[in-house]
A and B are shown apart, each in its own frame.
Chain A
Amino acid sequence: MRLNRRRFIGTGVAASATLAAPMVMGQARPRVIVVGGGAGGATAARYIAKDSQGAVDVTLVEPTRTYYTCFFSNLYIGGFRELGSIAHSYGTLASEYGVNVVHDWVVGVDRDAKTVALAGGGALPYDRLVLSPGIDFVDGAVPGWDVSAQNAMPHAYKGGSQTELLKAQIEAMPEGGTYVMVAPPNPFRCPPGPYERISMVAHKLKAENPTAKIIIADPKANFSKQGLFEEGWQKHYSGMITRIGPDFGGENVTVDPAAMTVDIDGEIVKADVCNVIPAQKAGRICEIAGITEGNWAPVDGHTMQSRVDENIHVLGDATNQGDMPKSGFSANSQAKVAATAVRAALTGSRAFPAKFSNTCWSLINAEDGVKVGATYEATDEKIVKVDGFISQTGEDADLRRATYQESLGWYSGITSDMFG
């Protein structure tokens, strides 16, 4: 491997695992590169390394050393989690599973040579490439906003410093101030996410700044768990939240980050905090690799292989796969299907039918949790929904508390499943 200054944590473990591993398909260990260490990529790296027992060389390329989950970041904003509790590192993937963890950006993919180029220089060869880059924002989606404005008007739609910034801005709001959210159009990461965030912001403001107002400019007529959120907002935060849907111009929004104003269908609103969540597209590396159609990377749900290049698997938010929502749970579920397919292709291990599931928990107020979920399977055309459920309005407090407790259990479960 041609590498300069790359940090290969855990190569010693990987090397010792090699001694016990069978040589497969007549070559040195087949190489898998996973790009992106979130719910899709970390899970895929862990499962491929774990289940191949050293027979596959797995490299995970992820720019950050500390990963903040986007899921539960709203709970940090609401004061229900410490930031440290949603922070994770890659040490266990390296030390326990022998994954080569490289902290760098992938800036190019040569699909013919089957190599990826790193920002720090050098290239890594692969037999299979797994891209799990999450989302980027569509340029010009909200007129007046681009990423250079993300300090004035944070998106906080990737976990970490943006989340901290948004929370700090909410805490600095003047008494009776105004929080404006510009909500994204479909499809986007975490469909209930903006509305859980509104709930958490309202929870915080009700305690700290009870005369503050929340305005949502929303281009969508409907949103995930709408009945549950609206019931909860009425019950817990009556009079605080105003949602302007497309029937009242919620899709016609321009922002001015310098003036901190939002123009909603001609009406100028002065914002103390403006949370702009723009329209989204697949993480940029998918576009660079030339595997996108429109904003997303189409995949075959049987294996999560790109429809453009069978040597590339794509996971999670970046994909266009069918019926599954863009969520950490979905990405984690897809990663296991991809990991099985990658191992089968590279080592001849047994392939099993693709099964997927998703559940999204949302917190509306302290111990008032709700959830929605479904199971899915692959068809040749797309991933299709099999069965589903959703929390009901009017549920009693015990059930809501149990649902919240369950979400805490899930967080521990999925993060263990991702990072070991």
Chain B
Amino acid sequence: MRLLKLITLALSLVLPVAGAWADEEAVPIGDAERGAKVFNQCKGCHQVGAGAENRIGPHLNGVFGRHAGGLDGFAYSKGMQRAASDGMEWDLRRLDAYLENPRALVSGTRMSFRGLKNPADRDDVLAYLRGFSDSPQNIPEAAPTAQHREVDLPPDVLELVGDTAYGEYLSSECKTCHQQDGSDAGIPSITHWPEEDFVVAMHAYKQKLRPHPVMQMMAGRLSDEEIAALAAYFKDPD
């Protein structure tokens, strides 16, 4: 069954490249058949497959490898435009993070979806969507986007209780750019975020999953405890 899925997926993806699916090291993302069912909850906004068009959300043909905000004629949110100008591209890792919690990856996105919390659901729906994108995965020297890299944070990191007083001190560094009153002109608002979203977002910068160089640098030197402290403070900074 597993092998069959792999072959089906490979066939649907890389037909033009002879022998490309012979790479036995390739790991399937998930169960594409099951992913088609998971995708039912996305259909209200997104189309995929032959004749797919932009609706409430952009169509998802060729989403793997697409530049964020990259479809002409779709009115993206300011947040997505910012990610686009920062150079974000939809590879497997980012799609997975986005599906898990859209707002944690792209602040201010209009995708009002609470996220697929079950990793298997994400794997499967991504395996399904993968069938509608070109496949650089098995092409020599192309980035191995089909390799699933884990972005989940260990539970102990998510469960850290932040030291609010320390967070307030650390926050003074954030406030040179991000305004206390939550204004978001030019620079996003970071106040009143749910703690977990804040923690995930900061770790996404720290792991260089989110693209912005200033934030990668700022998050890069924060410990897990310091990120938790900031999240605890910014949850209710007033």
Contact with A along B11-45 (1 / 0, CB 8 A): 00000000000000000000000000000000000
Give Cα A402 to B218, complex, Å. 19
Q: How far is the CB of A79 from chain B (nearest CB, A)?
A: 19
Q: A389: which B residues are within 8 A, CB to CB?
A: 213-214, 216-217
Assess the B181–A350 pair: CB atoms within 8 A. no
Within 8 A of A (CB), among B213-228: 213-214, 216-218, 220-221
Assess the B217–A375 pair: CB atoms within 8 A. yes
Assess the A340–B186 pair: CB atoms within 8 A. no
Assess the A373–B214 pair: CB atoms within 8 A. yes
Assess the A357–B178 pair: CB atoms within 8 A. no
Assess the A357–B175 pair: CB atoms within 8 A. no
Within 8 A of A (CB), among B60-113: 82, 84-87
| Cross-interface CB contact of B185 among A47, A412, A414, cutoff 8 Å | A412
| Cross-interface CB contact of B177 among A51, A374, A388, A413, cutoff 8 Å | A413
- For residue A333, CB closer than 8 A to chain B, the reply is yes
Assess the B217–A409 pair: CB atoms within 8 A. no
Give Cα A83 to B31, complex, Å. 61
Assess the A333–B217 pair: CB atoms within 8 A. no
- For residue A410, CB closer than 8 A to chain B, the reply is yes
Q: How far is the CB of B75 from chain A (nearest CB, A)?
A: 16
Q: A355: which B residues are within 8 A, CB to CB?
A: 170, 173, 221
Give Cα A387 to B218, complex, Å. 9
Give Cα A406 to B184, complex, Å. 10
Assess the A413–B218 pair: CB atoms within 8 A. no
Assess the A409–B177 pair: CB atoms within 8 A. yes
Assess the A333–B173 pair: CB atoms within 8 A. yes
Assess the A398–B84 pair: CB atoms within 8 A. yes
Give Cα A50 to B170, complex, Å. 15
Complex: chain B residue closest to A350, CB-CB: B165
Q: B221: which A residues are within 8 A, CB to CB?
A: 355, 375, 377, 386-387
Give Cα A359 to B82, complex, Å. 19
- For residue A157, CB closer than 8 A to chain B, the reply is no
- For residue B54, CB closer than 8 A to chain A, the reply is no
- For residue B193, CB closer than 8 A to chain A, the reply is no
Complex: chain A residue closest to B168, CB-CB: A51
- For residue A223, CB closer than 8 A to chain B, the reply is no
Q: B166: which A residues are within 8 A, CB to CB?
A: 350, 352
- For residue B56, CB closer than 8 A to chain A, the reply is no
- For residue A416, CB closer than 8 A to chain B, the reply is yes
Within 8 A of A (CB), among B164-194: 165-166, 168-170, 172-173, 175-181, 183-187
Q: A336: which B residues are within 8 A, CB to CB?
A: 169, 172-173
Complex: chain A residue closest to B174, CB-CB: A413
Q: How far is the CB of A337 from chain B (nearest CB, A)?
A: 9
- For residue A230, CB closer than 8 A to chain B, the reply is no
Give Cα A399 to B184, complex, Å. 18
Assess the B169–A352 pair: CB atoms within 8 A. yes
Give Cα A86 to B140, complex, Å. 55
Q: A407: which B residues are within 8 A, CB to CB?
A: 186
- For residue A417, CB closer than 8 A to chain B, the reply is yes
Q: B177: which A residues are within 8 A, CB to CB?
A: 359, 406, 409-410, 413-414
Residue from A340, A357, A414 with most neighbouring chain B CB atoms (10 Å):
A357
Q: A408: which B residues are within 8 A, CB to CB?
A: 185-186
Question: With A357-B173, A398-B84, A398-B85 in contact, do A412 and B186 touch (Cβ < 8 Å)?
Answer: yes
Q: B169: which A residues are within 8 A, CB to CB?
A: 336, 340, 350, 352
Complex: chain A residue closest to B188, CB-CB: A409
Assess the A387–B176 pair: CB atoms within 8 A. no
Contact with B along A385-399 (1 / 0, CB 8 A): 011110000000011
- For residue A242, CB closer than 8 A to chain B, the reply is no
Give Cα A337 to B40, complex, Å. 52
Q: A340: which B residues are within 8 A, CB to CB?
A: 169
- For residue A401, CB closer than 8 A to chain B, the reply is yes
Give Cα A373 to B176, complex, Å. 13
Assess the A359–B185 pair: CB atoms within 8 A. no
| Cross-interface CB contact of A417 among B175, B216, B217, cutoff 8 Å | B175
Give Cα A374 to B218, complex, Å. 9
| Cross-interface CB contact of A329 among B87, B176, B185, cutoff 8 Å | B176
Task: Name 15 interchain pairs, CB-CB below 8 A, sorted by A.
Answer: A350-B165, A357-B217, A374-B217, A375-B218, A398-B85, A399-B86, A405-B185, A410-B176, A410-B186, A412-B186, A413-B177, A414-B176, A416-B175, A416-B179, A417-B180
B-binding residues in A (CB < 8 A):
47, 51, 329, 332-333, 336, 340, 350, 352, 355, 357, 359, 371, 373-375, 377, 386-389, 398-399, 401-402, 405-410, 412-414, 416-417
* Other 11 A-B pairs with CB < 8 A, given A336-B169, A350-B165, A413-B179: A332-B176, A352-B170, A373-B214, A398-B85, A406-B186, A406-B187, A407-B186, A409-B186, A410-B186, A412-B183, A416-B175
